[in-house]
Amino acid sequence: MTVPPKPEPTGLFERATRRLPVERTPVWFMRQAGRTLPEYRKLRERWTLLQMCADPALCAEVTLQPMRRMPLDAAVMFGDIMLPLVGIGVDLDIVEGVGPVIAHPIRDLAGVAALRDLEPEADVPAAIEAVRLVRAALEPERAVLGFAGAPFTLAAYLVEGRPTRDFAKTKALMLGAPDVWAALMERLVAIVVRFMRANAQAGVSALQLFDSWVGALSVTDYDRHVRPWTQQVFAGLRDLDVPLVHFGTGCSHLLDQMKDDGAHIIGLDWRTPLDEAWARVGHDKGVQGNLDPAALSAPADVVAAAAREVLDRAAGRPGHVFNLGHGMLPHTPLANIERVVEVVQTYRPSTVVTDAMAPAA
Amino acid sequence: MTVPPKPEPTGLFERATRRLPVERTPVWFMRQAGRTLPEYRKLRERWTLLQMCADPALCAEVTLQPMRRMPLDAAVMFGDIMLPLVGIGVDLDIVEGVGPVIAHPIRDLAGVAALRDLEPEADVPAAIEAVRLVRAALEPERAVLGFAGAPFTLAAYLVEGRPTRDFAKTKALMLGAPDVWAALMERLVAIVVRFMRANAQAGVSALQLFDSWVGALSVTDYDRHVRPWTQQVFAGLRDLDVPLVHFGTGCSHLLDQMKDDGAHIIGLDWRTPLDEAWARVGHDKGVQGNLDPAALSAPADVVAAAAREVLDRAAGRPGHVFNLGHGMLPHTPLANIERVVEVVQTYRPSTVVTDAMAPAA
């Protein structure tokens, strides 16, 4: 008796993230669930973001809204990177127009010690239950994507206490109190890994690590003070049969590091042309991206041409997931979003690079 | 009768910016005049930034404050990149904690047409007179640096109306109304060139173009919609006997373009190690930078080590001006700033790369 081989996934997103051939490029958008949709804004009149995240049915509903409106290939769980920290009791608020604001910023070992381990089913039950609801509601060929904030980005919020442009307090701690920094990163790695594993067990098709602020670091500081912890996150997830995506913005200078940190797919922002960035990442890995979200405010034909340019640069290589280079901006015209989906789903590359043609890794 | 050869400059900054040998690396800091100094904050209790900029004596005083306190090699004129626009009548305010706010953002040809040419001596007399005052007050070996905002950065402020993180309106105009964009950039090039030429005539030792926001652009958009105008600015200044510096942040991905846009010296932010960035720029050009301004909030010994690391990477090559990778942050401890100056001025490289040893351009 032989064990039957595991069936190949049929969904386009799942196939592309495993670098299997696809008949067309899958597409989803970071922040597709949220402020651009009138049906979401209507819900937000009644509930705050954290209230919605605490209710599995509401959270699933918001996640599914863009899936009903558009033939997207993946649903990204509605939520916030700070949710696991809220779950373990960090006192924070998501302030409209500002972002997460922490009541007691963490800058010493006592603060780090107060960050207890995450028990996902007890601490973030709504987030995990919402994954099950979304998975059950969606057609099997449409993927569900779970995500978490990367340790550096979470640490930056915890240390600064609010969004910042310069990360002065974070860097001062990182450089000036390396023991506190290491303890903080170690705690965050454990929390992030547990949260992502619980997402996987609840049925997500892929996991994305949002390293939103990592581009503020020099290559040297990333290497010395962040990279080991990022690698630990991916090492803690590699036994799962789930593609792992690593995304950051403004980090073209870190691509040579990030490509080797353990993710299967590198999320690219819009700054570097996709073909050049993919060549640096290596064609043995997938890439996700990279239309400039700000370009979506241009006239529809310009938007369509920009989307086609991304696809031209991907050249039909296996392992490309179409996305924006960062989250959807609040005032993006819906018609432009729908136009991009249509462009991606009707696009046929003039030349297709197959695995066999791709240079060896 | 032969014309006597032009004497070589004796100041360290002037020598380094011309890639002449120096006995030690010159140092100044972006935003060295301003919020970090108590003597500046005292003046600010009585005057707004724009009021100070409108008074040549006050403007010169603020410019000279850090020069009295520290043995810096260059004074950077106190001012704001929006000054030439205020000079031609653009209705704007510099709002505390926000930045420049424009009463009537420019998004069409009529708006562009309202931007008249700059007559520096009539429109920004205080800025030009302040250069003369500073030049007269400073020892001849200490340099005076004039600056202007780059056309893209100025255009972004004019189009958005206020500081932004995403530049959605700017990019929508750039991509969607290329005629308006081109007209706007053309007007701004003319204004910037006139302002910088007037600075040179008044006696500055070097001119720096601040392209603060250019890092938000993709390589493709920079190439198509910005680069030609940046090149025009430098082309309009190359006949002056004044070293030209081009500085942007978050633009490691644009270095291969910027190095060929006409500046003599590329200002580097902190993200890429100085030696790697300089190799990309080419050793036939100078570089300025690139200590992380956020690192200056770390303990003094860590700051000193970080400053030495920058100098180690410069390896004594001709053409390095020590600076931060972006402007000084408001709460930077003064003692740390002074420590960095001391480190730079007492540093001796263990190995020195001379012109002869540098690879051919």
The rounded distance, in Å, linking the Cα atoms of A281 and A295 is 24
Residue listed under structure tokens 């263990």: B350
Answer yes or no: is pLDDT of B349 > 80: no
Q: What is the DSSP string of B230-241?
A: HHHHHHTTTTSS
pLDDT of amino acid A89: 96
Q: Is residue B279 part of a domain?
A: yes
pLDDT of amino acid B359: 42
A252 touches chain B (CB under 8 A): yes
Q: Is residue B104 part of a domain?
A: yes
pLDDT of amino acid B8: 82
**Averaged pLDDT for residues B56-78:** 98
Answer yes or no: is pLDDT of A330 > 70: yes
pLDDT of amino acid B5: 60
Chain B positions touching A336 (Cβ under 8 A) are: none
pLDDT of amino acid A259: 97
The rounded distance, in Å, linking the Cα atoms of A253 and B274 is 12
Q: Is residue A109 part of a domain?
A: yes
Which ipTM score applies to this complex?
Answer: 0.92
Chain A positions touching B98 (Cβ under 8 A) are: none
The rounded distance, in Å, linking the Cα atoms of A42 and B27 is 55
What is the tens place of the pLDDT at every residue in B39-51? 999 999 999 999 9
The helix (H) or strand (E) run that includes residue B183 is: helix B178-202
Chain B positions touching A293 (Cβ under 8 A) are: 166, 168
pLDDT of amino acid A356: 45
Instruction: Give B280 to chain A, closest Cα distance, Å.
Output: 13
Q: Is residue B276 part of a domain?
A: yes
Residue type, B56: P
**Averaged pLDDT for residues B198-226:** 97
The rounded distance, in Å, linking the Cα atoms of A145 and A199 is 9
Which residue, A126, A1, A121, A160, is CA-closest to A57? A126
Q: Coil, strand, or helix at residue B266? A: strand
* Partner residue opposite B175 with nearest CB, options A217, A221, A298: A298
The rounded distance, in Å, linking the Cα atoms of A185 and A189 is 6
Is A252 in Cβ contact with B168 (below 8 Å)?
A: no
**Averaged pLDDT for residues A67-72:** 98
* Annotated binding-site residue? A312: no
Answer yes or no: is pLDDT of A354 > 90: no
Answer yes or no: is pLDDT of B147 > 80: yes
Q: How much of chain B, in percent, has pLDDT values that exceed 70?
A: 95
Which residues share a beta bridge with A289?
A322
A164 touches chain B (CB under 8 A): no
What is the tens place of the pLDDT at every residue in A149-192? 999 999 999 999 999 989 999 999 999 999 999 999 999 999 99
Contact B85, B66 (CB under 8 A): no
pLDDT of amino acid B2: 55
pLDDT of amino acid A6: 67
* Partner residue opposite A175 with nearest CB, options B166, B220, B302: B302
The rounded distance, in Å, linking the Cα atoms of B106 and B185 is 12
pLDDT of amino acid B1: 45
Query: What is the CB-side half-sphere exposure of residue B212 using CA atoms within 13 A?
Result: 18
Cβ contacts of A322 within 8 Å, gap of 6 or more: A25, A26, A27, A28, A288, A289, A291, A307, A310, A311, A314, A344
How many residues comprise chain A?
361
**Averaged pLDDT for residues B352-361:** 47
**Which of B223, B271, B276, B331 best tests the A interface by mutation, with the highest count of A CBs <10 A?**
B271
**Averaged pLDDT for residues A290-311:** 97
pLDDT of amino acid A258: 97
Q: What is the DSSP string of B75-143?
A: EEPP--TTHHHHHTT--EEEETTTEEEESS---SHHHHHT-PPP-HHHHSHHHHHHHHHHHHHS-TTSE
**Averaged pLDDT for residues B231-250:** 97
**Averaged pLDDT for residues A130-134:** 98
Instruction: Give B41 to chain A, closest Cα distance, Å.
Output: 21
Confidence of residue B230 (pLDDT cuts 50, 70, 90): very high
Q: How much of chain B, in percent, has pLDDT values that exceed 90?
A: 90
Q: What share of chain B is helix, strand, coil (3-state, %, to 5)?
A: 50, 10, 40
Is A253 in Cβ contact with B272 (below 8 Å)?
A: yes
CA distances from A292 to A10, A75, A109, A296, A320 (A): 29, 20, 40, 7, 16
**Averaged pLDDT for residues B350-358:** 54
Contact A17, A321 (CB under 8 A): yes
Confidence of residue B96 (pLDDT cuts 50, 70, 90): confident
Window from A184-198, B83-97, B127-141 with minimum mean pLDDT: B83-97
Phi, psi (deg, nearest 5) at residue B24? -150, 165
Answer yes or no: is pLDDT of A69 > 70: yes
**Averaged pLDDT for residues A70-77:** 98
Is A220 in Cβ contact with B295 (below 8 Å)?
A: no
**Averaged pLDDT for residues B174-189:** 98
Q: Which domain holds residue B58?
A: 12-346
pLDDT of amino acid B98: 87
Burial of B2 (0-12, 13-18, 19+ CB in 10 A): exposed
Q: Is residue A359 part of a domain?
A: no
Overall domain count for chain A: 1
Q: How much of chain A, in percent, has pLDDT values that exceed 70?
A: 95
Query: What is the CB-side half-sphere exposure of residue B329 using CA atoms within 13 A?
Result: 21
Q: Residue A158's domain is classified under what CATH number? A: 3.20.20.210
pLDDT of amino acid A10: 84
B57 touches chain A (CB under 8 A): no
Phi, psi (deg, nearest 5) at residue B227? -55, -45
Q: Give the burial string for A164-195 (b: 16+ CB within 10 Å, else e).
A: bebbbbbbbbbbbbeebbebbbbbbbbbbbbb
Q: What is the mean pLDDT of chain A?
A: 94
Largest alpha-carbon pair distance within chain A?
Answer: 62
Q: Is residue B56 part of a domain?
A: yes
pLDDT of amino acid A357: 44
The rounded distance, in Å, linking the Cα atoms of A294 and A327 is 10
pLDDT of amino acid A4: 59
DSSP state, B169?
H
Cα Rg of chain B (Å, integer):
20
Is A220 in Cβ contact with B273 (below 8 Å)?
A: yes
Annotated binding-site residue numbers of B for substrate: 31-35, 80, 157, 212, 326
Cβ contacts of B357 within 8 Å, gap of 6 or more: none
Q: Is residue B133 part of a domain?
A: yes
Query: What is the CB-side half-sphere exposure of residue B20 using CA atoms within 13 A?
Result: 11
Q: What is the mean pLDDT of chain B?
A: 94
Q: Is residue A335 part of a domain?
A: yes
Confidence of residue B131 (pLDDT cuts 50, 70, 90): very high
pLDDT of amino acid B351: 61
Please state the three-class secondary structure of chain A as a single string.
CCCCCCCCCCCHHHHHHCCCCCCCCCECCCCCCCCCCHHHHHHHCCCCHHHHHCCHHHHHHHHHHHHHHCCCCEEECCCCCCHHHHHCCCCEEEECCCEEEECCCCCCHHHHHCCCCCCHHHHCHHHHHHHHHHHHHCCCCCEEEEEEECHHHHHHHHHHCCCCCCCHHHHHHHHHCHHHHHHHHHHHHHHHHHHHHHHHHHCCCEEEEEECCHHHCCHHHHHHHHHHHHHHHHHCCCCCCCCEEEEECCCHHHHHHHCCCCCCEEECCCCCCHHHHHHHHCCCCEEEEEECHHHHHCCHHHHHHHHHHHHHHHCCCCCEEEEECCCCCCCCCHHHHHHHHHHHHHCCCCCCCCHHHCCCC
The rounded distance, in Å, linking the Cα atoms of A287 and A317 is 10
What is the tens place of the pLDDT at every residue in A224-263? 999 999 999 999 999 998 999 999 999 999 999 999 999 9
The rounded distance, in Å, linking the Cα atoms of B166 and B105 is 16
Answer yes or no: is pLDDT of B276 > 60: yes
Residue listed under structure tokens 């959807």: A328
Answer yes or no: is pLDDT of B355 > 60: no
Q: Coil, strand, or helix at residue B324? A: strand
Cα dihedral A34, A300, B158, A249 in deg (nearest 10): 50
Cβ contacts of A168 within 8 Å, gap of 6 or more: B293, B294, B297, B329, B331
Give this prediction's pTM: 0.94
Query: First-to-last CA distance in chain B?
Result: 36
pLDDT of amino acid A352: 59
Confidence of residue A361 (pLDDT cuts 50, 70, 90): very low
Residue B253 burial (CB count, 10 A): 23
A6 compared with B191, residue with greater pLDDT: B191
